[in-house]
Amino acid sequence: MSAAVRRSELLRIPSATRRQSGFKRPAALITLILLLAPACDLPEPPKVVTISNVPTFRPSSPEQVQTVEQAMAAIITVCRDDLRLPVVDPLNVHLYKNTASFASYGNAPWIFRSDVAHLAGTADKNKMHINLEKTQHLPWGRAIWVLAHEYGHNLENDLTSVRFHTQWFTEGFAEWVAARVVDALGWQAYELTLRRIRLELARHREFIPALYKLSDNRDWNSFTRKPKGAVTAYNLAAAAVDRLIEKKGIASAIPYFRWGDFELGEFAAGFKSDLENMGPEFTRQRPREFLMRKPDWKIGYRWIYEETVPGRKTALLAQINKEDSVRGRLVFLVKFGDGEELYDKDTLGLIATMKNGKLTTYRDEPNRMFEWPLQAAKEWKNTYRLRDVETKKTDVIDRTMVLASLEEITVPAGRLISAKIEAYENETGRLMAEYWYAPAAKWFVKTINYGGENGFVRVRELRSFKVDS
């Protein structure tokens, strides 16, 4: 695979289940020329990988997945052995070099590039179509969510005997399959996936439509193109399917696939009630008043964290080693793991990282995880340019930070009163991270990063700390 796509983009790139027709427009050739005009590369036929009689494969970490065959073997193993779903065999995976190829060979030729450029993949019967331009430079272990989602559509095609489709159910089931696959592999707990879904729905509550408004494919596509629409639609669909399967069992979903034999009105009413009663994380009750001022950091302060990522747990020591300056800005230099992190003294926001004494990343503004003093329901913008010194690549980070609640949280270091902060990507509405700051520890006691380096959730919990009281 060859332009990096952040995990946040990869997870929620809309997909489509294609329904081919024999209709052709007279202007197809002209349209195809218009389609290819903006392309840097000419379209090429896809590489087709046939998946059949796959062996059992349960990789303990994403790094163990090196090929599309291995990725599909892991997906099929979970779907077959854990979820008790049928196997689509043979499965033909079509890999398209770029969007122009995907548009020309993976879809009807009259579909404009602007209509397919947002797609990571589609599925049709026993065929899967993957646009590699959307997953370039990503190992197959990180792209497995997209593959599992599309395989969910293949399963739907296999299970459906009557072509009745409710789009929210179709997409929600595909998301459910993907979430269950990474859960069964031990890469990302299903409860953490649900947690993110519920928090995002809470954040964008005013955008949530009624389920019936997402039943038609045309309405679905229209809604997902609205601001925050893709996140809201896929989350709503996934939460609805989760409720259906949790309440009725997977067996109840199969007849619905086959015949559409489900009382949607009764279900929709019950689901709406569930949304309204998800608890404070959904209803967003205003937290009780509090005030937390910026702590005074000192050389020698230290914290030990336990970090959990797919396939391993490690202990990380963070210690303030000295006060310094970088590009004219006064900083605390914190030894963190095998590298160093530089925190702006005014804000305690991360400004740069170093390794072996050399700068590795730099931010034109601090990563403002805090806005002092911390107060109930406070929100602030966190926007900066992140420069990778080695690759010369610059990313724009644009988030809204939300002080969501005051919580008493239990971590290995003890039970601590903490201010809980959530970080949302402004463009997509995705929840990128959760942070718990405790005055007693003078730093974070827990973090959940939903876009870690391996593409899955990274959790850090404080094991011990040494600061002045």
252 sits in which H/E element = helix 250-259
pLDDT at 53 over 60: yes
What pLDDT, in 10s, does the model give residues 427-445?
999 999 999 999 999 999 9
Question: Which residue range is the domain that position 397 belongs to?
Answer: 291-466
The pLDDT score that the predictor gives to residue 205 is 86
| More confident position, 30 or 389 | 389
Q: Which of 93-97, 109-113, 126-130 is predicted least confidently?
A: 109-113
- Same domain flag for 150 and 3: yes
Instruction: Report the alpha-carbon angle 37-38-40, nearest 5.
Output: 105
218 occurs within a structural domain:
no
Number of folded domains that form the chain: 2
Tell me the pLDDT band of 457, cut-offs 50, 70 and 90: very high
In a domain, residue 212? The reply is no
Average pLDDT over residues 174-185: 97
The verdict on residue 446 lying in a domain is yes
Does residue 73 form part of some domain?
A: yes
> Of 125, 154, 183, at which residue does a domain stop?
154
Among 168-172, 294-298, 431-435, which is the least confidently predicted range?
168-172
pLDDT band for 103, please (50, 70, 90 cuts): confident
- Residue 198 tokens read as 């519920």
- CA–CA separation, 238 vs 223, rounded Å? 16
Please state, as a whole number, how many other Cβ atoms lie within 10 Å of the Cβ of residue 57: 18
The answer to whether residues 150 and 4 belong to one domain is yes
- Residue 217 is assigned to a structural domain of this protein: no
What does R_g of the chain's alpha carbons equal in angstroms?
24
In a domain, 134, yes or no: yes
Confidence of residue 49 (pLDDT cuts 50, 70, 90): very high
Q: Of 31-45, 137-151, 155-169, 315-329, which range is least confident? A: 31-45
Q: Would you say residue 55 lies in a domain?
A: yes
C-alpha to C-alpha distances, 439 to 374, 418, 442, 444, 466, nearest whole angstrom: 10, 7, 5, 9, 13
In a domain, 247, yes or no: no
Q: Among 92, 119, 154, which residue terminates a domain?
A: 154
Cβ atoms of residues 404 and 424 within 8 Å: no
Output the DSSP codes for 274-307: HHHTS-HHHH-PPPPP-EEPPP---TT-EEEEEE
pLDDT value at 22 more than 80: no
296 and 150 belong to one structural domain: no
Q: Any idea what the CATH number is for the domain that residue 380 is in?
A: 2.40.360
- Give the residue from 104, 134, 154 where a domain finishes: 154
- Cα 306 from chain centre: 22
pLDDT of residue 8: 31
